[in-house]
Amino acid sequence: MMNDWSLARILADLHQDIERRLASARQTLGHSVAKGNASERVWLELLQTYLPQRYQAQGAFVVDSKGDFSEQIDVVVFDRQYSPFIFKFEGELVIPAESVYAVFEAKQAINAPQVEYAQKKVASVRKLHRTSLPIPHAGGVYPPKPLPHIIGGLLTFESDWSPALGESLTGALASAPERRLDLGCVAAHGTFGCDLDGCYAIVPGGKPATAFLLELIARLQASATVPMIDVRAYAKWLAT
- Catalytic residues, by residue number, are 74, 105, 107
Report d(CA 54, CA 48) in Å as an integer.
Answer: 11
Report d(CA 108, CA 62) in Å as an integer.
Answer: 23
Report d(CA 59, CA 151) in Å as an integer.
Answer: 15
Helix (H, G, I), strand (E, B) or coil at 211: helix
The residues, any chain, with a CB within 8 Å of residue 106's CB and separated by 6 or more, are: 36, 39, 40, 42, 43, 44, 74, 75, 154, 155, 156
Q: Are 74 and 120 in contact (CB under 8 A)?
A: no
Report d(CA 59, CA 74) in Å as an integer.
Answer: 5
